[in-house]
Amino acid sequence: MATTMLPAAELLTVPDPAAPISPRGRPTRELREQLRRIPSTRNALSVASAWVQTIGVLALAIWLDHPLGWVVAFLLVGRSNVLLAILSHEAAHRLLFTDRRVNDAVGRWLLGYPVFLPIDLYRRGHMNHHRDEFGPNEPDLPLYCGYPIPRDSMRRKLTRDALGVTGVRIMRGLLRGLRSSDAAVCGEAWRIVVTQTVIFGVFAAVGWWYLYPLLWVLPHLTVWRVLNRLRSIAEHGGMTRSDDRRLTTHAVRQSWLARLAFVPYNTGLHLAHHVDSGVPWRSLPALHAELARSGYLQPDLEQPGYLALWRKLASG
């Protein structure tokens, strides 16, 4: 039975002094300047692509009007939540567009609010996450602390997610924000309501208003919650508070299926992201490769895949 997920001490090697990587894994100044360039035009195409995929799934399901098509669309809209949420995470880091006003507007209205994410509040908490993972101000600690856990405990968590219990609880918190005395909380809650009203209006305009709760809200409350938990625990489950990011964040070998389903936009290269959270998603493979070349990321430090990691996380 596993009691820890922490890597062996001998794997926490010091990078090659000749490599453009500091002892803490951060790229040196020259490399950092190369990695931190934001390709705004390509990112705009990524945002457009995410919406094309989302609308395409819904349009195809309506056109087919077949039970199997509805089921597949239900699952794929959950994946669409992943696409929009991960891109909104990029916007929260202000790495989506070089123009901050464009970055924030797209991050809010086209990415965050459609998937019920109060992105400005999220940004505030998420910066605490990057400053001190597992620290006293860590906003995501309840999601991945205490691992590894028993298999039946993992099953209960995922069942609650799949049945919408977790999603409804979080949605209630969002709705309470509509009456909050905190202007920032209240403002974002109402902006999300406005965005969701527009989305409902689009469904109603094409004559399928009832698909809004069934094929927009419900996948968010269920499929997205399962995928979000699986991704989150694979990022930090079973790790610990430390200045060494190799002790706070897992490195997992990426497969095309994982990238397609729940870790798009290189978000699965999470150790590289936590080593330098100012590197845009398109440059994370280059940083990840440099971490490996320098010796900071030893081969045995990488988890062989998500299934293997989830098994370890459920072996407590």
Give every CB contact of residue 233 below 8 A, 6+ residues apart in sequence: 143, 144, 147, 310, 313
Answer for the pair 239, 224: CB distance below 8 angstroms, yes or no: no
Is 1 a residue whose pLDDT tops 50? no
Number of domains in the chain: 1
Answer for the pair 295, 270: CB distance below 8 angstroms, yes or no: no
Asked if residue 1 belongs to a domain, the reply is no
**Interval 11-28 mean pLDDT:** 96
**Interval 260-281 mean pLDDT:** 98
**What is the C-alpha separation between 316 and 3, in angstroms, rounded?**
6
Q: Please compute, for residue 216, the number of CA atoms within 13 A of its CA located in the half-sphere on the CB side.
A: 24
Answer for the pair 121, 188: CB distance below 8 angstroms, yes or no: yes
Is 28 a residue whose pLDDT tops 70? yes
Asked if residue 2 belongs to a domain, the reply is no
Asked if residue 302 belongs to a domain, the reply is yes
Is 2 a residue whose pLDDT tops 60? no
**Interval 172-187 mean pLDDT:** 96
Answer for the pair 16, 297: CB distance below 8 angstroms, yes or no: no
**Boundaries of domain holding 90:** 9-313
Give the pLDDT confidence score for residue 232 in this predicted structure. 96
**Confidence category of residue 3, pLDDT binned at 50, 70, 90:** low
Asked if residue 4 belongs to a domain, the reply is no
Distance of CA 186 to the CA centre of its chain: 24
Question: Which tokens go with 23?
Answer: 């002892």
Q: What is the pTM of this model?
A: 0.96
Asked if residue 3 belongs to a domain, the reply is no
Give the pLDDT confidence score for residue 144 in this predicted structure. 86
